[in-house]
Amino acid sequence: MVRRRRMVRDYDPYRPVPPEVRDRLLAHAVRAPSAGFSQGWGFLVLETAEERGRFWTATAPPPPARPDRWLTRMRRAPLLVVALSHRDAYLDRYAEPDKGWTDRDEARWPVPYWDVDTGMAALLMLLTAVDEGLGACFFGVPAERVDAFRAAFGVPEGHRPVGVVSVGYPGSDDRRSPSLRRGRRPLDEVVHRGRW
């Protein structure tokens, strides 16, 4: 399954994701690891044409910009799942007696595990899509459009969109990204054994 996973950027707009498959995607997402079992994530599921349209309106560049080919094909996805992280769930959890910290100081965290764990949950959705014979892609909400996204869906201030998983049956115009021509870096360039 891992070797078959790839980012799919075009979808068949006439084949919705079956509800039981959607539910498996979400059930697998919450099986992701989370520091202190904080589970500081949330998932906004957008399935109807109105919900997806509102998402693309809120997150795409405003007119007069024309959507590029990538965006036109991505808009065909019948299911979007926005993965959101919730930092306060982690800060609260690690201020509990069994963790040994007495405050919610964010400086204790070498990296924002709330975002890392939410990304792992998104990866489990991507892998589940492969298992189900579907295509999926992970992409971000542009920083300058996050406030419009929040307003469009009533997302509380404490939740940050880490990324979006688009899901559906691959369309006929699903071409590989030109970036893949760069090739995968060999292991001996990225793996350091014993020391850097």
Contacts (Cβ under 8 Å, ≥6 apart) of 103: 95
CATH fold of 2-168 reads NADH Oxidase (3.40.109)
Quote the pTM value.
Answer: 0.87
| Boundaries of every domain in the chain | 2-168
Asked if the model's pLDDT at residue 62 lies above 90, the reply is: no
For the chain, give the percent of residues with pLDDT over 90.
Answer: 66
pLDDT of residue 171: 81
* Tens digit of each residue's pLDDT (9 = 90 or more) over 147-189: 999 999 999 999 999 999 999 998 876 566 566 567 778 888 8
Residue 6 has pLDDT above 50, yes or no: no
**What torsion do the CA atoms of 77, 152, 140, 27 make, to the nearest 10 degrees?**
-60
Q: What is the pLDDT of residues 86-120, one digit of tens each?
A: 999 999 999 999 998 888 989 889 999 999 999 99
Contact indicator for 17, 79 with CB cutoff of 8 Å? yes
The pLDDT score that the predictor gives to residue 79 is: 97
Q: How far is it, in rounded angstroms, from Cα 55 to Cα 58? A: 5
